[in-house]
């Protein structure tokens, strides 16, 4: 044990200087006994402060449709789930939500949905265009897989960023969990987005059934290889309405380790403290912010729709309205001695 901890201290010492860590070094940290993991979090926090500072960027998340043509095994809004009520905001409601978010002080909105056939690339492009005309917001899209040409239509309308998690780096596990998606096509989408000039966010869930520490280490290395502008990592939380209902979910500590190691590997990337972490522990997002994260994505979806975008149970903020969440999160950020950024929080990567 002493020996293992000495090795982990040495890796942390090295990480302060460079993000060039080997898979073995990553595995050492992932396998660090939970009760001794603070050194990993503290090291990531030092690197976070040096690389991206104390400011936390807020992105207002608009969940604008829970219709989805896909059936990812883990997801509560998968098309075949007949137990949930479906909703779709109108184009006007989406723009209106963005305008209100700007009034609440957000500088970025993230427009997210299932893969809803109603929302074609042209319709999404029109929403982005009008939002850009009416506000000075940065617009991030998170609406799934499209062709290069469709991504181009959305980019040309003014979209700045795109979030598309690869979910797992294991092609085999990806196949088992995605009956209607292909791992290589997902990676191609990420390449297309980058080629089109989007700031690209990707990431994965921690603790998917069948995930090993090896796969988790490979997930981290894939993020580094993709050199993403933003890395979104959250624990998998089993949903009762899916085939993975009885499975174990990911743990907060493993998700925190993944966030911390991501900070070590990707240095100045933006890393959110995700809603799923806040769901596992009331202090989950603060813990992530103190383990390498520098972004939070509070929900700005009108309150009446929130309960229908239930990817997993016990999701936080379901009964709160956007103004309440804005105040709540600011309090949490100040409570840990950090500040809320006033700028757009664009990528810090120089390409």
Paired residues of 204 in beta bridges: 167, 233
The DSSP line for 29-57 is HHTS-GGGTHHHHHHHHHHHHHHH-SEEE
Return the one option of ligand FES, ligand SAM, ligand SF4, none that residue 298 interacts with (CB less than 5 to 8 A, by type). Answer: ligand FES
Which of 238, 345 has the CB closer to ligand SF4?
238
Helix, strand, or coil here: 248?
coil
CA atoms of 277 and 253, how far apart (whole Å): 10
Helix H or strand E encompassing 64: strand 60-65
What Rg value do the Cα atoms of the chain yield, rounded? Answer: 19
Nearer to ligand SAM, 53 or 302 (CB): 302
Residue among 44 and 75 whose Cβ is closer to ligand SF4:
75
List the strands of the sheet with 230-235, edge to edge. Answer: 60-65, 108-113, 138-142, 161-163, 199-206, 230-235
Selection from ligand SAM, ligand FES, ligand SF4, none that 276 binds (CB < 5 to 8 A by kind) is ligand SAM
Work out what residue 320 binds among ligand FES, ligand SF4, ligand SAM, none; the CB cut-off runs from 5 to 8 Å by kind. Answer: ligand FES
Q: Which partner in ligand SAM, ligand SF4, ligand FES, none is near 78 (CB below 5 to 8 A by kind)?
A: ligand SF4
State which of residues 51, 196, 320, 336 lies at the interface with ligand FES (CB under 6 A): 320
Residue span binding ligand SAM (CB under 6 A) among the ranges 163-171, 264-272, 286-294, 336-344: 163-171
Out of 60, 114, 235, 284, the residue judged to bind ligand SF4 by CB under 6 A:
114
**Is residue 325 near ligand FES by the rule CB under 6 A?**
yes
Tell me: does residue 202 bind ligand SAM (CB under 6 A).
no
Rule CB under 6 A: which of 3-62 touch ligand SAM? none
Rounded least distance, CB 329 to ligand FES, Å: 5
Half-sphere exposure of 341 (CA within 13 A, CB side): 19
**Burial classification of residue 351, based on how many CB atoms lie within 10 Å of its CB (0-12 exposed, 13-18 middle, 19 or more buried):** exposed
Per DSSP, 291 falls in state T
When binding is defined by CB under 6 A, the residue of 155, 165, 270, 326 that contacts ligand SAM is: 165
Residue 74 near ligand SAM by CB under 6 A = yes
Q: Which is nearer to ligand SAM, 95 or 164 (CB)?
A: 164
Which residue of 170, 298, 300, 315 would you call a contact of ligand FES, by CB under 6 A? 298
- Examine residue 78 and tell whether it contacts ligand SF4 (CB under 6 A): yes
Stretch that binds ligand SAM, among 117-125, 236-244, 319-327, 334-342 (CB under 6 A): 236-244
Nearer to ligand SAM, 32 or 273 (CB): 273
Helix locations, the chain, DSSP H:
2-17, 23-30, 38-52, 91-103, 121-134, 148-156, 171-177, 183-195, 213-226, 252-266, 275-280, 284-289, 303-306, 322-335
Tokens read off for 240: 């009762």
To the nearest 10 degrees (0 to 180), the angle between helices 23-30 and 213-226 is 130
Q: Which residues sit at the interface with ligand FES, rule CB under 6 A?
A: 298, 317, 320, 324-325, 328-329
């Amino acid at each position: 044990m002493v020996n293992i901890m000495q090795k982990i201290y040495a890796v942390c010492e090295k990480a302060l200087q460079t993000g060039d860590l080997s898979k073995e070094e990553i595995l050492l940290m992932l396998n660090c006994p939970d009760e001794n993991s603070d050194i990993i979090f503290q090291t990531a926090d030092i690197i976070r402060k040096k690389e991206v500072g104390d400011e936390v960027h807020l992105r207002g998340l608009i969940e604008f449709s829970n219709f989805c043509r896909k059936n990812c095994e883990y997801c509560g809004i998968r098309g075949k789930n007949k137990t949930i009520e479906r909703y779709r905001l109108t184009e006007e409601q989406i723009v209106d939500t963005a305008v209100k978010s700007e009034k609440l002080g957000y500088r970025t909105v993230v427009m997210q949905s299932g893969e809803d056939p109603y929302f074609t690339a042209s319709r999404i492009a029109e929403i982005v265009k009008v939002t850009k005309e009416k506000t000075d917001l940065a617009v991030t899209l998170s609406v799934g897989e499209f062709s290069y040409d469709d991504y181009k239509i959305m980019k040309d309308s003014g979209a700045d960023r795109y979030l598309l998690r690869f979910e797992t780096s294991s092609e085999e596990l990806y196949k088992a969990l995605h009956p209607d998606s292909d791992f290589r096509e997902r990676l191609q989408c990420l390449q297309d987005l980058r080629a089109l000039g989007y700031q690209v966010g990707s990431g994965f869930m921690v603790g998917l059934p069948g995930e090993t520490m090896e796969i988790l280490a490979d997930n981290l290395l894939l993020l580094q290889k993709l050199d993403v502008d933003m890395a979104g990592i959250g624990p998998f939380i089993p949903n009762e309405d899916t085939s993975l209902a009885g499975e174990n979910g990911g743990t907060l500590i493993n998700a925190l380790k993944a966030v911390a190691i991501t900070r070590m590997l990707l240095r100045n990337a933006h890393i959110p403290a995700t809603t799923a972490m806040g769901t596992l522990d009331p202090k989950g997002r603060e813990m992530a912010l103190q383990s390498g994260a520098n972004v939070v994505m509070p929900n700005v979806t009108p309150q009446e729709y929130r309960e229908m975008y239930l990817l997993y149970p016990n999701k936080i903020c379901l009964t709160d309205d956007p103004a309440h969440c804005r105040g709540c999160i600011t309090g949490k950020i100040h409570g840990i001695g950090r500040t809320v950024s006033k700028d757009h929080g664009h990528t810090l990567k120089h390409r």
